[in-house]
Chain A
């Protein structure tokens, strides 16, 4: 019908124009800091900061702790997300709330909660420290803080992915002779793979950006976000900039990757 086409060809109506202008102001407000940080440090400064062993060490700590936290979240979170997506049971909403709770807790508070629950003198902490996994001022503490704040993101993203997989695929696969476990690995997981992947990337990114809980539990060894804060406090803005740019570039790369995966 030509009427519909005419409507589409009409110039941007005033209503959308005004909304777009308002929206553009927000986009601008978000974009300016990104542009400013990228142009305010020279590539030479960034390269120089890469030669700083403390910076490199902090980035390695952050990336490896975030990777470990993501792996743990995947191993335990994916099965949990599947149960949440597929089963109805008593106390389900209570359990869902427990999993989502860390999202609403201020991160410094989360740090205190983790420390109180798992420090070496608590029963669980005692067992863990005997196994060489004491959380105070350790790599494991950074990982624990990252896991606490990021696992809810993984569970909710993956759960949404499983919910979108039509259960009839699983039913048919079972009638064809596949066990429940085989169906999970050959049907459910491949069909929800994109959600699992974006969940993992978001979890990793959230872990990398964590500061509050890490400062309480394990300010040492230094993670990248903690080092930025420390340099800013000790030496001011200029000293913090090169490392900040590095972290922005890493975050940007992850973000672009995520967009590419989810848009594909």
Chain B
């Protein structure tokens, strides 16, 4: 069956204050949860605001359900927008906040109330309806803001860093809440975040945005395992990035020399290259072991850092490598600063740019 695009963005560009987006094109299908990730200042919010109609683009087109809405005012687009600060109207109750869109569209008070009660039930916030906005916790505010955006049955839901203002524990709870909501309501949404883990957990498809451009769009696996460039690799968690030279290629396996250390990898690139290895792809052993991993480097632990949820160890193996371990692995292997270790990783886990 041919997928239906709810949203299509064609070569969109906009400069606004210190932010800009350049030549952004993307398509979001019906019932697709699309996550755009990128560092602060990448232009993610500006892109959402362009889709919401808060700004008009300098160039390009925005098409929602086949209709060109590029210059249509916000109120005629039917998009649900949840900004980073939720922007719940402080002078209205929770009920009136959620009902605002329905009333603005001319629905009578009783029908609006019925619809609000039904959406509040779906979102598990019925108990909050009579509360004042100022009495809500961060997590509650987030749910109310979602309800207010969803009650108008938007064609597409736009979520701007919806979890970033929350503490770690609430964030975790709301992440699963959003996952559940996405499944139950079959949301068509664009969610922007700077948190890679959030993107992986929620996104059906991901896009990476840097300096106003979408640098890669793909499935979570494509982004994690085939980052298109070094910037994406670094952003998605590749901590070990080095410059090297391809010195040999045999049977599909290449050897890269990094400061005299030989690394096996699978690439068809030649000459000077840059390589990246994710910390969680590296195994740690106290003794040399024979495995299918083509790379085994001997090194000495330089630093052990407890950084929940894992332990980070930094090893000098001729090149400085960062490795993640669990606390129990650290204790079982009796690793501390100065311990001699062997680091193993597969040739296919070495990403070459």
Cβ distance B235 to chain A, nearest Cβ, rounded Å: 27
- Complex CA–CA separation, A182 to B73 (angstroms): 14
Residues of B within 8 A of A175 (CB): 52-54, 74-75, 77, 79-81, 149
B100 proximal to A (CB < 8 A) = yes
Per-residue CB contact flags for chain A residues 159-178 toward chain B (1 = under 8 Å, else 0) read 00000001011011111111
Report, as a range, how many residues of chain A touch the other chain.
Answer: 10 to 19
Task: Report whether A176 and B101 are in contact in the complex, using a CB–CB cutoff of 8 Å.
Answer: yes
- Complex CA–CA separation, A16 to B95 (angstroms): 49
Task: Report whether A177 and B104 are in contact in the complex, using a CB–CB cutoff of 8 Å.
Answer: yes
Task: Report whether B89 and A174 are in contact in the complex, using a CB–CB cutoff of 8 Å.
Answer: no
Residues of B within 8 A of A179 (CB): 75, 104
- Complex CA–CA separation, A168 to B149 (angstroms): 14
Residues of A within 8 A of B74 (CB): 171, 174-175
A190 proximal to B (CB < 8 A) = yes
Nearest B-chain residue to A172, judged by Cβ: B87
Interface size on B, residues (CB 8 A): 26
- Complex CA–CA separation, A2 to B104 (angstroms): 53
Which B16-69 residues have C-beta < 8 A from chain A? Answer: 49, 52-54
Task: Report whether B104 and A166 are in contact in the complex, using a CB–CB cutoff of 8 Å.
Answer: no
Cβ distance A105 to chain B, nearest Cβ, rounded Å: 36
- Complex CA–CA separation, A168 to B87 (angstroms): 6
- Complex CA–CA separation, A187 to B100 (angstroms): 10
- Complex CA–CA separation, A166 to B90 (angstroms): 11
A191 proximal to B (CB < 8 A) = yes
Per-residue CB contact flags for chain B residues 5-23 toward chain A (1 = under 8 Å, else 0) read 0000000000000000000
Known: A173-B104, A176-B101, A178-B104. A191 touches B91 (CB 8 A): yes
Per-residue CB contact flags for chain B residues 110-131 toward chain A (1 = under 8 Å, else 0) read 0000000000000000000000
Nearest A-chain residue to B98, judged by Cβ: A176
Task: Report whether A171 and B90 are in contact in the complex, using a CB–CB cutoff of 8 Å.
Answer: no
Residues of A within 8 A of B54 (CB): 171, 174-175
Cβ distance B71 to chain A, nearest Cβ, rounded Å: 14
Per-residue CB contact flags for chain B residues 75-88 toward chain A (1 = under 8 Å, else 0) read 10111111101010
Residues of B within 8 A of A190 (CB): 91
- Of A166, A169, A172, A174, which is in contact with the most chain B CB atoms at under 10 Å from its CB? A172
Task: Report whether A171 and B52 are in contact in the complex, using a CB–CB cutoff of 8 Å.
Answer: yes
Residues of B within 8 A of A186 (CB): 100, 104
Cβ distance B314 to chain A, nearest Cβ, rounded Å: 35
Which A167-205 residues have C-beta < 8 A from chain B? Answer: 168-169, 171-180, 182, 186-187, 190-191
Task: Report whether A176 and B152 are in contact in the complex, using a CB–CB cutoff of 8 Å.
Answer: yes
- Complex CA–CA separation, A18 to B152 (angstroms): 62
B191 proximal to A (CB < 8 A) = no
Residues of B within 8 A of A191 (CB): 89-91
Task: Report whether A173 and B89 are in contact in the complex, using a CB–CB cutoff of 8 Å.
Answer: yes
Residues of B within 8 A of A177 (CB): 75, 78, 101, 104-105, 152
Partner of B87, one of A169, A178, A180, A182: A169
Residues of B within 8 A of A173 (CB): 89, 100, 104
Nearest A-chain residue to B77, judged by Cβ: A175
Nearest B-chain residue to A168, judged by Cβ: B87
- Complex CA–CA separation, A174 to B73 (angstroms): 8
Task: Report whether B85 and A174 are in contact in the complex, using a CB–CB cutoff of 8 Å.
Answer: no
Known: A177-B78, A177-B152, A179-B75. A171 touches B87 (CB 8 A): yes
Task: Report whether A174 and B53 are in contact in the complex, using a CB–CB cutoff of 8 Å.
Answer: yes
Task: Report whether A166 and B87 are in contact in the complex, using a CB–CB cutoff of 8 Å.
Answer: yes
Partner of B100, one of A171, A178, A180: A178
B148 proximal to A (CB < 8 A) = yes
Cβ distance B326 to chain A, nearest Cβ, rounded Å: 36
Residues of B within 8 A of A174 (CB): 53-54, 73-75
Cβ distance A176 to chain B, nearest Cβ, rounded Å: 3
Known: A171-B52, A175-B53. 20 other contacts (CB 8 A): A166-B87, A168-B83, A168-B85, A168-B87, A169-B87, A172-B82, A172-B83, A173-B104, A175-B74, A175-B75, A175-B77, A175-B80, A176-B100, A176-B104, A177-B78, A177-B152, A178-B75, A186-B100, A191-B90, A191-B91
Residues of chain A touching chain B, judged by Cβ–Cβ distance below 8 Å, are 166, 168-169, 171-180, 182, 186-187, 190-191
A/B interface sample: 28 pairs, CB < 8 A: A168-B85, A169-B87, A169-B89, A171-B52, A171-B54, A171-B81, A171-B87, A172-B82, A173-B104, A174-B74, A175-B52, A175-B74, A175-B77, A175-B79, A175-B81, A176-B104, A176-B148, A176-B152, A177-B101, A177-B104, A177-B152, A178-B75, A178-B100, A178-B101, A178-B104, A186-B100, A190-B91, A191-B89
